């Protein structure tokens, strides 16, 4: 496992960072050569033009990522546990799936998909709970060269249908239902509703999980367990070009329509492996647990591809932190003797708000590294995590990255480089950040503050938005030409450590979920009585941010409480419960510029509790409404 590409000391990190920036092609050529199996080597390491943008890593190379995640480990690690699966209900049995078993199950699932007509290049949608079949399905798609599009199982029928239609998926995999805490989500019913408007879908594969009653469309639906039992457990891995698509994953956009971020086989594999090993400093005996859902990029990169390509034991948890009680995470850490634990600030804050005895009553002594991801972590939560969970001896890696970046970009390396509370700290080798001022000029001296860009390609970067390259260019490469613009604001201290301060565009991060305000507004506007709406985020103790909706009505509502309830329902139905507004304020008008753009800046201030100091509002079309909104603030 020892590799000169995995830093063990601060000196190593400095050396790797330098090499990766002085001669990136040499650096990635050597890492990719030494650490993976390729069916054919590349002609060029990197070709790029960030204006178009066009990015190609390892052009000419051929591989299959599942051979790197599975087959190559079999001779030495065949009987090692690849996945520990922990069910929602602690009374149900845990599963320990070895690398050998995982390979055989992935092959079965791959043959099952083939028998249903799946081919290389097809898009396959996975709308599944956190069960082992989800891991098999993801890897099975990769095995046969089909492009997976995992849709988080908390999304509504409408959101699911939009994503299936955007990618023109021909197969959907789901389950009869999903367990989450004390609730059962009727996944098959939701999928049925979605599929009534998805003509591209030929087959729907259903895993039996909750044994809930389901409707059956005999032309279209098949049971996983029936097809899986018929399938052989050997399946040759499809030969993929390094730049072939591996998956599409949807993330919120500011114009309402979610963006299907495209990641490719070679670069993504290299990046998730490199970052996983460096950041978490995984050692062969470690038990590693990332609490994310596979429906998000964190689950793709750091439950599945990164850890498996590194031959790690990765824990996959079906449940939620609060069921059966707020001690569940710590019970699982104790039960499986977890060494590396990776979660989100929103989970940390909600656990912090519960009684300390939930943590103190469990043996957490196996923990040696803690991680966080998803949003800025506040000092109080950081200190609680450090003290109550890490007992002050675990390094905390605060990992900044995005769906678009494929893997971790800025983070300390556990126990190797220093951490600093609320700072993501230093860039990963291969990452060249730049802070831009309002004029688009790079701020070179420290300390610095501005917008965060990345000025040189890295292997894990998204290549396009599925079906809309122009939107990809516009969103990420037009604001600061020649650079990738992250959409985040950031600060850099006198030592060059980065602190991410949050989104500077119209995205709100609620409980670590990235939500587009425009998408939520579109949903609210579906209510017949709503005339216009403006959605902003405001700080919330547990969720990080919460949603505040300002709405105007076509006529005066008869019952304000009923209207609010209906607005919440429509958002739940069209997007999903995670996007529900916490506060809804009915206004007579929304502040607008003369060109008719809603001034969200002012609403954001009001929502977060500032009721004066709005700057110059005299240029507004309707300045009088500001005072009314401020004085009626909820």
Interface with ligand WT7 (CB under 6 A), residue from 77, 135, 242, 509 = 509
From the list 400-408, 459-467, 532-540, 557-565, the region that binds ligand WT7 by CB under 6 A is: 400-408
CA-nearest of 579, 578, 592 to 524 is 579
Indicate if the alpha-carbon torsion angle 347, 353, 356, 357 is positive or negative: negative
- The nearest distance, CB 626 to ligand WT7, in angstroms, is 28
Indicate if the alpha-carbon torsion angle 491, 493, 494, 496 is positive or negative: negative
101 interacts with ligand WT7 by CB under 6 A? no
Q: According to CB under 6 A, which residues from 289 to 328 bind ligand WT7?
A: 297-298
Interface with ligand WT7 (CB under 6 A), residue from 400, 458, 498, 548 = 400
Relative to beta strand 544-553, strand 583-587 is parallel
424 interacts with ligand WT7 by CB under 6 A? yes
Interface with ligand WT7 (CB under 6 A), residue from 514, 545, 546, 585 = 514
247 interacts with ligand WT7 by CB under 6 A? no
457 interacts with ligand WT7 by CB under 6 A? no
Closer to ligand WT7 by Cβ: residue 174 or 402: 402
- Can you point out the beta strands (E) in 100-143? 123-126
Query: H-helix or E-strand containing 626?
Result: helix 624-631
67 interacts with ligand WT7 by CB under 6 A? no
Question: What tokens does 340 get?
Answer: 């590396």
d(CA 338, CA 578): 29
20 interacts with ligand WT7 by CB under 6 A? no
| Window 365-384: contact mask with ligand WT7 (x via CB under 6 A) | --------xxxx--------
576 interacts with ligand WT7 by CB under 6 A? no
Interface with ligand WT7 (CB under 6 A), residue from 159, 346, 369, 403 = 403
511 interacts with ligand WT7 by CB under 6 A? no
Number of residues that bind ligand WT7 (CB under 6 A): 22
Is 59 exposed, middle or buried (CB count within 10 Å of its CB: 0-12, 13-18, 19+)? middle
| CB burial string 408-444: b at 16+ within 10 A, e below | bbbbbbbebbebbbbbbbbbbbbbbbbbbeeeeeeee
d(CA 14, CA 33): 22
Closer to ligand WT7 by Cβ: residue 300 or 336: 300
402 interacts with ligand WT7 by CB under 6 A? yes
510 interacts with ligand WT7 by CB under 6 A? no
Q: Is 526 left (phi over 0), alpha (psi -120 to 50) or beta?
A: alpha
Question: What tokens does 540 get?
Answer: 């919330």
Q: 443: which DSSP letter?
A: P
Yes or no: say if 273 and 36 are a contact pair by the CB < 8 Å rule: yes
d(CA 461, CA 38): 20
Q: According to CB under 6 A, which residues from 325 to 364 bind ligand WT7?
A: none
From the list 45-53, 239-247, 306-314, 486-494, the region that binds ligand WT7 by CB under 6 A is: 486-494
Question: What tokens does 267 get?
Answer: 């670069």
- The nearest distance, CB 82 to ligand WT7, in angstroms, is 22
Closer to ligand WT7 by Cβ: residue 151 or 509: 509
Adjacent-strand bridge partners of 57: 46
Closer to ligand WT7 by Cβ: residue 17 or 485: 485
- The nearest distance, CB 36 to ligand WT7, in angstroms, is 23
d(CA 225, CA 230): 9
Phi and psi angles of residue 22, each rounded to the nearest 5 degrees, phi first: -70, -45
Yes or no: say if 17 and 203 are a contact pair by the CB < 8 Å rule: no
Q: Which residues contact 196 (CB under 8 A, 6 or more apart)?
A: none
508 interacts with ligand WT7 by CB under 6 A? no
Any alpha helices (H) in 125-211, and if so which ranges?
A: 132-144, 157-167, 187-195
Interface with ligand WT7 (CB under 6 A), residue from 265, 394, 436, 500 = 500
Interface with ligand WT7 (CB under 6 A), residue from 488, 506, 519, 521 = 488
Interface with ligand WT7 (CB under 6 A), residue from 429, 433, 487, 591 = 487
Interface with ligand WT7 (CB under 6 A), residue from 81, 107, 251, 281 = 251
- The nearest distance, CB 274 to ligand WT7, in angstroms, is 16
Closer to ligand WT7 by Cβ: residue 177 or 512: 512
Q: Which residues bind ligand WT7 (CB under 6 A)?
A: 251, 297-298, 373-376, 398-403, 424, 486-488, 500, 502-503, 509, 514
């Amino acid at each position: 496992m020892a590799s000169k590409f995995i830093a063990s000391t601060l000196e190593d990190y400095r050396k790797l960072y330098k090499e990766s920036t002085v001669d990136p092609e040499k650096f990635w050529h050597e890492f990719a050569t030494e650490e993976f199996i390729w069916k054919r080597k590349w002609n060029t390491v990197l070709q790029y033009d960030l204006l178009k943008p066009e990015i190609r890593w390892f052009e000419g190379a051929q591989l299959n990522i599942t051979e790197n995640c599975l087959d190559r480990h079999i001779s030495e690690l065949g009987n090692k546990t690849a996945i520990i699966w922990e069910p929602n209900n602690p009374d149900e049995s845990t599963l320990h799936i070895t690398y050998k078993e995982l390979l055989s199950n992935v092959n079965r699932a791959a043959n099952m998909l083939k028998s249903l007509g799946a081919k290389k290049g097809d898009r396959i949608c996975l709308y599944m709970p956190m069960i082992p079949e989800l891991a098999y399905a993801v890897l099975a798609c990769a095995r046969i060269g089909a492009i997976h599009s995992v849709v988080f199982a908390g999304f509504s029928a409408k959101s699911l249908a939009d994503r299936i239609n955007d990618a023109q998926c021909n197969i959907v995999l789901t389950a009869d239902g999903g367990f989450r805490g004390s609730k059962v989500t009727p996944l098959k019913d939701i999928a049925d509703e979605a599929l009534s408007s998805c003509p591209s879908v030929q087959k729907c594969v259903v895993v039996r999980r909750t044994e809930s009653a389901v409707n059956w469309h005999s032309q279209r639906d098949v049971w996983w367990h029936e097809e899986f039992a018929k399938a052989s457990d050997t399946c040759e891995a499809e030969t993929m070009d390094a730049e072939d698509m591996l998956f599409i994953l949807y993330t919120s956009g500011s114009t309402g329509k979610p963006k299907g971020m495209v990641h490719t086989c070679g670069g993504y594999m290299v990046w998730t492996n490199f970052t996983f090993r460096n950041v978490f400093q995984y050692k062969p005996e470690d038990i590693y647990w990332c609490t994310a859902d596979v429906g998000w990029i964190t689950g793709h990169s750091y439950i599945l591809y990164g850890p498996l390509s590194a031959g790690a034991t990765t824990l996959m948890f079906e449940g939620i932190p609060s069921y059966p009680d707020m001690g569940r995470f710590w019970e699982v850490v104790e039960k499986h003797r977890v060494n590396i634990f990776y979660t989100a600030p929103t989970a940390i804050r909600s656990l912090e708000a519960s009684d300390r005895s939930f943590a103190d009553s469990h043996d957490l002594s196996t923990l040696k590294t803690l991680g966080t991801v998803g949003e800025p972590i506040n000092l109080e939560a950081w200190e609680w995590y450090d003290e109550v969970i890490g007992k002050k001896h675990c390094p905390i890696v605060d990992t900044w990255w995005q769906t678009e970046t494929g893997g971790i970009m800025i983070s300390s390396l556990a126990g190797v480089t220093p951490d600093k509370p609320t700072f993501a700290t230093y860039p990963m080798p291969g990452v060249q950040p730049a802070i831009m001022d309002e004029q688009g000029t790079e701020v070179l001296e420290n300390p610095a503050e501005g917008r965060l860009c990345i000025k040189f390609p890295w292997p894990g970067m998204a290549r396009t938005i599925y079906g809309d390259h122009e939107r990809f260019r516009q969103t990420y490469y037009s604001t600061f030409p020649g650079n990738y613009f992250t959409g985040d604001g950031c600060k850099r201290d006198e030592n060059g450590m980065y602190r991410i301060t949050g989104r500077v565009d119209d995205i709100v991060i609620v409980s670590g979920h990235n939500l587009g305000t425009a998408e939520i507004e579109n949903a609210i506007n579906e209510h017949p009585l709503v005339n216009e709406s403006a959605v902003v985020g405001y700080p919330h103790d547990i969720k990080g941010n919460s949603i505040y909706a300002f709405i105007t009505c076509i006529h005066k509502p008869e019952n304000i409480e009923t209207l609010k309830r209906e607005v919440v329902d429509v958002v739940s139905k069209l997007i999903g419960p995670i996007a529900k507004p916490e506060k809804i304020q009915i206004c007579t008008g929304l502040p607008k510029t003369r060109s008719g753009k809603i001034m969200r800046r002012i609403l954001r201030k009001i929502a977060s509790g500032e009721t004066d100091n709005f700057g110059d509002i005299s240029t507004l079309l309707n300045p009088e409404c500001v005072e009314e909104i401020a004085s009626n603030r909820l």
